[in-house]
Structure 1
Amino acid sequence: MKLLKIIIQIALLYAFAWLGGQIQAWLHLAIPGSIIGLLLLFVLLLCRIIPVSWIEAGSTTILFYLPLFFVPATVGVINHLDLFAGKGLLLVAIVIASTIITIIAAGHASQWLAILTERRRGANESNDTVEGIVSDMHENGHVRVGGQVEQNERAARSDKKVPHAAPSPTNDTAQAKLYGKKGTQL
């Protein structure tokens, strides 16, 4: 069943490459048809017209075997050795420089994405934590102000004089979580 799913997804990817080739031939574009098909698939994925699950297993399989697709191109270079005559050192320098630039660019991009993801995750967690602590404190009817615990607004509105209660451990724990202090009494 899994193999059939992968085959169908690879066929879908191939259909987009074929469609891109047809668009390229019909419009006489200078862009290769496979790139047009890839851009078409990208737009459809971005607009959520096609869900990622429709191509995920097939594309993962193709990426796994991607190095094998480079073998024919690399072996094909042997047929064109005259192009490289006298320029071997220059080509080696170009390959090394472009590899270093690619590694640096990919590293910076992945660090930027990791920081962005961590900020989003941290912002969501801190908002959830603060909201949870505030709601816990309001449910208990106590809010810590200036080192003392005051009764909630209903008790304050009534003309009763309510003596200040001793701080409850629940509120101290909640406030310690709120301010990021563990095991401390505020």
Structure 2
Amino acid sequence: MSIQILFLCGLNELGNLIVEVSCLPLPGNLIGMLLLFLLLMMGAVPLHWVKEGSSILLKHLSLFFIPIAVGLMNYGHLFLHQGWIFLLLILISLWIGIYTTGGISQFLIHKKEHKQEEYLQRGERRYG
């Protein structure tokens, strides 16, 4: 399990290095997650190599937000004066996320139903 967590941390650091060297306008941890995704999709890294370590990290994910929350306390005056803007931005991004997820889900459901109908129609033509 420790080796799995070290591997995931190494991918994170590799993502940070790629961002630093290439000056990409993306967070390094996002590049690290994309690298992990690509490695898993290509089969270069089997899922069982990272499953247990990633499960432990996800289980304790809330602990990673404590430093961020403590850091936000330094900006209390900003939240008092412009908190409504933050709330508005959060609501807009929430709506965009829900709308996009729902749209993609509906698209995939319709695509699956269409494939099932085609499959059934082909079967009926053969045997009907």
Query: 41, 48, 57: which one pairs with 2:52?
Result: 57
Larger Rg: 1
List structure 1 runs of 4+ shifted beyond 6 angstroms.
none
- The residue identity in structure 1 corresponding to 2:79 is F
Distance 1:90 1:68, change over 3 A: same
2:87 matched to 1:130?
Answer: no
User: Once the 2 structures are TM-superposed, how far is the Cα of residue 123 of structure 1 from its aligned partner?
Assistant: 5.5
- Equivalent-residue separation in structure 1 for 2:68 and 2:27 (angstroms): 17
2:120 matched to 1:107?
Answer: no
Instruction: Show the counterpart of 1:77.
Output: 72
Number of residue-to-residue matches in the alignment: 126
Instruction: Show the counterpart of 1:14.
Output: 9
- Equivalent-residue separation in structure 1 for 2:112 and 2:58 (angstroms): 24
Instruction: Show the counterpart of 1:40.
Output: 35
CA RMSD of aligned residues (A): 3.1
User: Once the 2 structures are TM-superposed, how far is the Cα of residue 83 of structure 1 from its aligned partner?
Assistant: 2.6
Deviates more, 1:46-55 or 1:74-83: 46-55
User: Once the 2 structures are TM-superposed, how far is the Cα of residue 17 of structure 1 from its aligned partner?
Assistant: 0.9
Structure 2 length-normalised TM: 0.69
User: Once the 2 structures are TM-superposed, how far is the Cα of residue 78 of structure 1 from its aligned partner?
Assistant: 0.8
Instruction: Show the counterpart of 1:175.
Output: none
More strand by share: 1
Runs of 5+ unmatched residues, structure 2: none
State the structure with bigger RCO (CA 8 A, min sep 6), 1 or 2: 2
Sequence identity percentage: 33
User: Once the 2 structures are TM-superposed, how far is the Cα of residue 119 of structure 1 from its aligned partner?
Assistant: 4.1
Q: Spell out, residue by residue over 1:161-181, the C-alpha distance to the aligned partner (whole angstroms, 9 max, x if none).
A: xxxxxxxxxxxxxxxxx5xxx
Instruction: Show the counterpart of 2:93.
Output: 98
User: Once the 2 structures are TM-superposed, how far is the Cα of residue 14 of structure 1 from its aligned partner?
Assistant: 1.3
